[in-house]
Chain A
Amino acid sequence: MDFAALELTLRLASLTTLLLLLLATPLAVWIASGRGAARRVAQAAVALPLVLPPTVLGFYLLVGLGPATALGRTLIALLGHPVAFTFSGLLIGSMIYSLPFAVQPLVVAFSSIDRPTVEVAQVLGAGPWTVFRRVTLPLSRASFITAAVLCFAHTVGEFGVVLMVGGDIPGVTRTLSIAIFDQVQELRYTDANLTAAALAGLSFLALLVVYGRGNRRAELA
């Protein structure tokens, strides 16, 4: 069992989930708040990582974050080193890769909140922030948990993006899914089996959390 890879995977997945929820919440609020063309374009763009091969995403990230683009050069100037093949690069890649899993449940949650409920809260004196904190957020709690678990599990399971952007540097960018690949390449089947079992268990547990909550949501409504 590659414990460095396990630690790295959990750290990457937790950080990705945390940052992604912070980013996805305002994005989902905006998408759910209207019907304009810009929102539809944003929604399509957010869903893109669902259908693109991870290698395509990884390739663009590798090029985009490198010295070939203005964004890449700015990042290099800011950080003092290229982000590709580092943990930060991995984090950026993971966030983009798991973005739809954070945004979609929140968009569904926010747009299913009854319009009159929000309106009466406003008239009774709640400003936009108060409405969000006291009405929108508690009514979409279940979806936040779903989004968090899905992001975490999806990040744990990613392979293509990590390999492209991160390379395979032990302790820095070698996650569990890549460790398995290496172990199989080196014909270490026992180790690969252990790692694979750990991943399968972790993912199943995460999904159990999501579906185990299904009944409770019905209770709340």
Chain B
Amino acid sequence: MPQLPRFRLRLNARVGALLLDLDLALISRWTVIFGPSGSGKSTILRAVCGLVPQAPRVGILSRRLAHRKGGGAPEEWDQPHHRMAPHLRGLAYAPQGAVLFPHMSVRENISFPSAVRRGAAFQQPSDRQTGSGAELVEEAIRCFQLEALLGRRPGDLSGGESQRVSLARAFAVPHPRLILLDEPFTGIDRALRDALLPRMQQRAAQLGAPVLSVTHDVEEALMLGAEVIRLEQGRILDQGPASRVLAEERARMLQMLL
């Protein structure tokens, strides 16, 4: 399995009424940002993507050295004060509410990330390990059980189906540096979620990219055994293993069962 890069995000910006001030380290394969709505969870992901104009200089420090152009030197993006266009950041992203391309079929949606990268500039030596664009697409379709929906348009999908297509599209990004998932299981029932979670963990590990997801679902965070960052009002309250950070919630849930 490829060596996992470590990331550190620094963010200091005022977005609307919210003052975001964080410095967080991604040290686990899967990190969950947990917090109530309005705490700035989605804004953090959007800022990492370069979509928050108020926070153009999100510092992302990666210990991994670049493959790009000869390798050796760290990527430009690794410099904390560089503003890089979203499409050059090499991110996999499933936004909140499954934003699909309405004019494309399910298959075309999932193929989009590899289709826009077609060209020599994006071919990297690690292609042998993670597969070509076409294999990535097939793998993502299998992972999210979308075989029966490939010819459909987003307009004909249910909420949960759209969400699965959005996740599959994120997992079909070639060479992601970081996989960002915003409320990944909205509209997906528990049984399916429980089936998808381990597959997604496995797939992310194969792709060699850490996952940063956002949720307000305690179960999801506990199931993943992920590193949890508890966020409130744009600030980090706590960070650590899910079992510790969410101990209180876990106890409350157990109590309800007894």
On A, residues with C-beta under 8 Å from B are 114, 116-117, 119-127, 130, 134-135, 138-139, 220-221
Closest 6 CB pairs of A and B: A122-B86, A123-B93, A126-B116, A116-B99, A124-B113, A123-B49
Task: Chain A residues near B115: list those with CB within 8 A.
Answer: 134
Q: Is the CB of B103 within 8 A of A125?
A: no
Whether the Cβ atoms of B116 and A139 lie closer than 8 Å is: no
A25 to B13, CA, bound (A): 35
In whole Å, how far is B101's beta carbon from the nearest beta carbon of chain A? Answer: 6
Q: A116-B95, A130-B116, A134-B116 in contact; A123/B89 too (CB < 8 A)?
A: yes
Is A119 within 8 A of B86, CB to CB? Answer: yes
Tell me if B141 counts as interface (CB < 8 A to partner A): no
Interface residues on B, range: 20 to 34
Chain B, residue nearest A130 (CB): B116
Is B150 located at the chain interface by the 8 A CB criterion?
no
Q: Mark B115-143, 1 if CB is under 8 A from A, else 0.
A: 11100001000000000000000000000
**B residues apposed to A, CB below 8 Å:** 49-51, 85-87, 89-93, 95, 97, 99, 101-103, 112-113, 115-117, 122, 155, 169-170, 173
A119-B95, A123-B87, A126-B87 as given contacts; A221 in contact with B101, CB under 8 Å = no
Complex CA gap A124/B85 in Å reads: 11
Give bound CA distance, A119 to B53, whole Å: 12
> Which residue of chain B has its CB nearest to the CB of A122?
B86
Contact of A124 among B97, B102, B173 (CB under 8 A): B173
* Contact in complex: A124, B169 (CB < 8 Å): yes
Are B85 and A127 in contact, with the CB atoms below 8 A? yes
B95–A124 contact, CB under 8 A? no
Chain B residues with CB under 8 Å of A117's CB are 99, 101-102
Q: Does B155 lie within 8 Å of A121, measured CB to CB?
A: no
In the bound complex, do residue B99 and residue A124 qualify as a contact, i.e. CB atoms below 8 Å apart?
A: no
Complex Cα distance, B50 from A117, in Å, reads 15
Contacts of B93 in A (CB 8 A): 120, 123-124
Q: Report the minimum CB–CB distance from B62 to chain A (whole Å).
A: 17
**Nearest-neighbor residue (CB-CB) of A117 within chain B:** B99
Residues of A within 8 A of B155 (CB): 221
A181 to B91, CA, bound (A): 64
Complex: A2 Cα to B44 Cα, angstroms? 68
- Within the complex, what minimum Cβ distance (angstroms) separates B242 from chain A? 27
15 CB contacts below 8 A, A to B, read A114-B99, A117-B102, A119-B49, A119-B86, A121-B116, A122-B87, A123-B50, A125-B87, A125-B117, A125-B122, A125-B173, A127-B87, A134-B112, A139-B102, A220-B103
